[in-house]
């Protein structure tokens, strides 16, 4: 594990600020870790639908234009894996929950690292956009992954390299990084995302991973029957698994992997983890009723979190509403490039 200990960190979370997007897989991973550890933090949503991740101010945090990014004072930590490690290294004293055992050489610690190794490298982008680009692989998708939105996603990922190249030309300081990102994405789309056989291979590989998870859960008996994946308490491996299962469920792959008796222990685990407070807070907004102008408007950085969600969902569901009606106090009048990662 790479250490990002920072002598300038105050260790109480008061200087932390997370830049994220609510639908981002990797943002959800960090959010669940923060909530599970009970570390206080400030936040700022970065609007992926309007390409805010490519604004010059954000590219100074992350030249690749990716979320999430965590700042701790003057320190900038990109990448969800690095962020979670940073949190664990710097915020694991008595007032915060630990997500890894103190005994680094313990059996539990080794199991956590093993499952992290196989879960954190899983190609979520190919899973998500590959499912969208190959409708025959879609089984039971749930909002926001409606059939119409899946088509929109497929078109978006196909056109993204060209869009990123245009952005690179306008941002000389990040140009080389963005051009490389566009090249990688273009190659990934042509060789993986757009190819049904390649996406099926990813789905088959995931079968092997989740079977290993099922076998681990089956081994928990007696005093261990109430354990999570690797121990009595939720660990980083549980967070990795929970957010992955959530994405699979949204995409409609649950029947392939655990539902209807396919993997009963994994199904029971999913039902249990999805009802934890940290999971629900990381993946679902509790204040969703607000529409622009509502008395329930809840502001965050001069934007309403619930309105952000509502506006995106209205467009995702294919409901035709004039943008001016929706975007009274948000950036959605700029158009959508909904890079849902």
Question: Which residue's entry shows tokens 């932390």?
Answer: 16
Helix (H, G, I), strand (E, B) or coil at 20: strand
Compute the CA torsion angle 196, 200, 203, 204 (nearest 10 deg). Answer: -170
Of 30-44, 91-105, 121-135, the range with the lowest mean pLDDT is 91-105
Q: Which of 123, 141, 151 shows the shortest CA–CA distance to 251?
A: 141
Q: What is the pLDDT of residues 268-310, one digit of tens each?
A: 999 999 999 999 999 975 334 333 434 444 444 444 454 554 4
Compute the CA torsion angle 330, 335, 340, 341 (nearest 10 deg). Answer: -80
Q: What is the pLDDT of residues 35-87, one digit of tens each?
A: 999 999 999 999 888 899 999 999 999 999 999 999 999 999 999 999 999 99
Question: Which residue's entry shows tokens 């009595």?
Answer: 232
Measure the CA–CA gap between 201 and 211, rounded to whole angstroms: 15
Measure the CA–CA gap between 305 and 300, rounded to whole angstroms: 6
**Which phi and psi angles does 303 have, rounded to 5°?**
-130, 155
Over range 89-110, report the average pLDDT. 92
| Predicted local confidence at residue 284, as pLDDT | 76
Handedness of CA 201, 242, 31, 79 (dihedral sign): negative
Measure the CA–CA gap between 195 and 199, rounded to whole angstroms: 6
| Predicted local confidence at residue 79, as pLDDT | 97
Helix (H, G, I), strand (E, B) or coil at 303: strand
CATH of domain 16-97: 3.40.30.10
Contacts of 225 (CB under 8 A, 6+ apart): none
Distances (CA, A) of 85 to 4, 40, 54, 70: 8, 16, 26, 12
Domain with CATH 3.40.30.10 in the chain: 16-97
Residue environment code for 183-199, b if the CB has 16+ CB neighbours within 10 A, otherwise e: eebbebbeebbbbeebb
Q: What is the pLDDT of residues 147-199, one digit of tens each?
A: 888 898 999 999 999 999 999 999 999 999 999 999 999 999 999 999 999 99
């Amino acid at each position: 594990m790479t250490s990002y200990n920072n002598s300038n960190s105050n260790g109480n979370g008061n200087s932390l600020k997370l830049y994220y997007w609510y639908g981002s897989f990797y943002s959800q991973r960090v959010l669940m870790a923060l909530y599970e550890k009970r570390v206080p933090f400030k936040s700022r949503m970065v609007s992926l639908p309007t390409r805010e991740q490519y604004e010059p101010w954000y590219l100074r945090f992350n030249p690749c234009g990716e979320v999430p990014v965590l700042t701790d004072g003057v320190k900038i930590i990109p990448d969800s894996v690095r962020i979670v490690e940073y949190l664990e290294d710097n915020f694991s004293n008595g007032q915060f929950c630990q997500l890894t055992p103190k005994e680094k050489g313990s059996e539990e610690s080794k199991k956590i690292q093993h499952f992290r190794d196989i879960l954190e490298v899983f190609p979520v982008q190919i899973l998500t956009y590959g499912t969208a680009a190959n409708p025959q692989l879609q089984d039971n998708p749930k909002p926001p992954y409606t059939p119409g939105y899946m088509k929109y996603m497929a078109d978006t990922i196909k056109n993204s390299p060209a869009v990123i190249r245009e952005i690179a030309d306008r941002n000389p300081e990040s140009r080389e990084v963005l051009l490389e990102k566009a090249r990688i994405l273009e190659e990934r789309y042509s060789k993986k995302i757009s190819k049904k056989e390649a996406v099926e291979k990813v789905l088959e590989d995931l079968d092997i991973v989740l079977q290993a998870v099922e076998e681990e859960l089956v081994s928990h008996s007696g005093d261990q029957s109430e354990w999570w994946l690797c121990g009595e308490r939720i660990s980083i491996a549980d967070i990795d698994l929970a957010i992955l299962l959530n994405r699979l469920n949204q995409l409609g792959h649950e029947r392939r992997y655990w539902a209807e008796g396919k993997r009963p222990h994994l199904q029971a685990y999913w039902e249990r983890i999805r009802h934890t407070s940290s999971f629900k807070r990381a993946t679902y907004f509790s204040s969703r009723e607000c529409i622009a102008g509502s008395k329930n408007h809840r502001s965050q950085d001069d934007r309403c979190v619930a309105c952000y969600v509502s506006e995106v969902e209205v467009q995702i569901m294919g409901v035709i509403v004039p943008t001016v009606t929706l975007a009274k106090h948000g950036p959605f009048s700029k158009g959508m490039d909904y890079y849902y990662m």
